[in-house]
Chain A
Amino acid sequence: MPSIGSRAAADLKRAARDPVLLAVILLVTGSLLIFVVYPLVSVGAASLDTGGGKLGLKVYADVAKSAYIRKAFWNSLMMSSLTALIGSLLGFIFAFAVARAKVPFSKFFNMIAIIPIVSPPFIGALAIIMLFGNNGLITWNLLRIQNFPVYGFNGLLLAQVVTFFPVSYLTLKGVLESMNPILEDAALDLGGTRWKVFMRVTLPLAFPGIASSILLLFVETLADFGNPLILAGSKFPILSVQAYLEIVGMYDLPKGAAISILLLVPSLIAFYLQRWLVSRRKYTTVTGKPQQSTTQIVSPGARVALFAVCAFVALIVALIYFSIIVGAFAKVWGFDHRPTLDHFKFVFGVGFKAVRDTLVIAGTATPFAGLLGMVIAYLVVRVRFPGRRFVESVSMLSFAVPGTVIGIGYILAFNHKPFALTGTLAILLLNFIFRYIPVGIESGKAILSSIDPSIEEAAINLGADARKTFSRVTLPMILPAFFSGLVFAFVRGMTAVSAAIFLVSSRWNLMTVHIMAQVESGNLGAAAAYSLILVLIVAVAISLIRIVLKVQYRKFGGSMLHF
Chain B
Amino acid sequence: MSVKLLNITKEFIDLEREGGKLIAVKDFNLEIEEGEFVTLLGPSGCGKTTTLRMIAGFETPSAGDIFIGDKNVSADPPNKRDTSMVFQSYAIFPHMSVEQNVGFGLELRGKPKAEIAMEVRRIMDAMGIGELARRRPDQLSGGQQQRVALARAIVNRPSVLLFDEPLSNLDAKLREQMRVEIRRIQQTYKITSVYVTHDQAEAMTVSDRIVVMNRGRIMQVGTPFEIYSRPENQFVADFIGRVNLLPVTVEKLSDQGCEAVDAQGQRLEAASAASGIAVGRKAFLMVRPESLSVEKDVGANEAGTGNASGAAKGHSAISSIGATEAPHAIERMLFARGVIEKSVYLGSTVEYEINASLDRPVLAVSHDPVDVGFWRPGDSVALRYNPRAAHLFLR
> Which residues of A are at the interface with B, using a C-beta cutoff of 8 A?
180, 182-183, 185-194, 196, 200-201, 204-205, 207, 282-289, 291, 293-295
Contacts and interface: CB of A to CB of B under 8 A. Distances in A.
Contact of A288 (B59, B78, B79, B88): B88
Given A187-B108, A190-B84, 19 more contacts: A182-B87, A185-B78, A186-B85, A187-B93, A187-B104, A188-B78, A189-B79, A190-B79, A190-B105, A191-B79, A191-B109, A192-B108, A196-B108, A200-B108, A205-B93, A282-B94, A286-B90, A286-B140, A288-B88
9 contacts: A182-B87, A189-B56, A190-B104, A190-B108, A191-B105, A205-B95, A284-B138, A287-B90, A291-B88
Interface class of chain A by DSSP: loop
A280 B90 CA distance: 23
B156 interface: yes
Nearest to B90: A287
Contacts of B58: 185, 188-189, 293-295
Question: Quick one: which of B85, B109, B152 has the most chain A CB within 10 A?
Answer: B85
A201 to B, nearest CB: 6
Interface string B78-114: 1100011101111111110000000011001100000
Contacts of A196: 108
A293 B91 CA distance: 13
A221 B278 CA distance: 83
Nearest to A291: B89
Contact of A188 (B77, B90, B109, B156): B77
B57 to A, nearest CB: 8
B108 A191 contact: yes
Contact of A190 (B89, B94, B156): B156
Question: Quick one: which of A190, A194, A200, A283 has the most chain B CB within 10 A?
Answer: A190
B157 to A, nearest CB: 12
B95 A204 contact: yes
Contacts of A288: 88-90, 169
Nearest to A283: B94
B160 to A, nearest CB: 11
Contacts of A204: 95
Contact of A287 (B56, B142, B152): B142
Given A190-B156, A196-B108, A287-B145, A201 B87 contact: no
Nearest to B83: A189
Given A196-B108, A287-B169, A294 B93 contact: no
Nearest to A183: B91
Contact of A285 (B84, B89, B142): B89
Contacts of B88: 288, 291
B91 A185 contact: yes
B137 interface: yes
Size class of B's contact patch? 20 to 34
3 smallest beta-carbon distances between A and B, as pairs: A288-B89, A190-B105, A186-B91
Contact of B89 (A180, A188, A200): A180
A284 B83 contact: no
Contacts of B142: 287
Contact of A286 (B92, B108, B109): B92
Contact of B138 (A186, A205, A286, A295): A286
Given A288-B169, A295-B78, A189 B93 contact: no
B95 A283 contact: yes
A285 B58 CA distance: 21
B274 to A, nearest CB: 37
A2 B13 CA distance: 62
Contacts of A182: 87, 89, 91
B378 to A, nearest CB: 46
A265 B214 CA distance: 65
A390 to B, nearest CB: 31
Contacts of B104: 187, 190, 200
Contacts of B91: 180, 182-183, 185-186
Contacts of B108: 187, 190-192, 196, 200
Contacts of A185: 58, 78, 85, 87, 91
A21 B90 CA distance: 47
Contacts of A194: 79
A87 B91 CA distance: 31
Contacts of B56: 189
Nearest to A205: B95
Contacts of A205: 93-95
Contacts of A189: 56-58, 78-79, 83-85
A84 B291 CA distance: 74
Contacts of B85: 185-186, 189
Nearest to A288: B89
Contact of B137 (A180, A187, A286): A286
Question: Quick one: which of A188, A205, A287, A288 has the most chain B CB within 10 A?
Answer: A287
A186 B85 CA distance: 7
Interface string B371-383: 0000000000000
A100 to B, nearest CB: 15
Contacts of A188: 58, 77-79
Nearest to B140: A286
A18 B230 CA distance: 71
A554 to B, nearest CB: 25
A547 B368 CA distance: 69
Contacts of B109: 191
B85 to A, nearest CB: 5
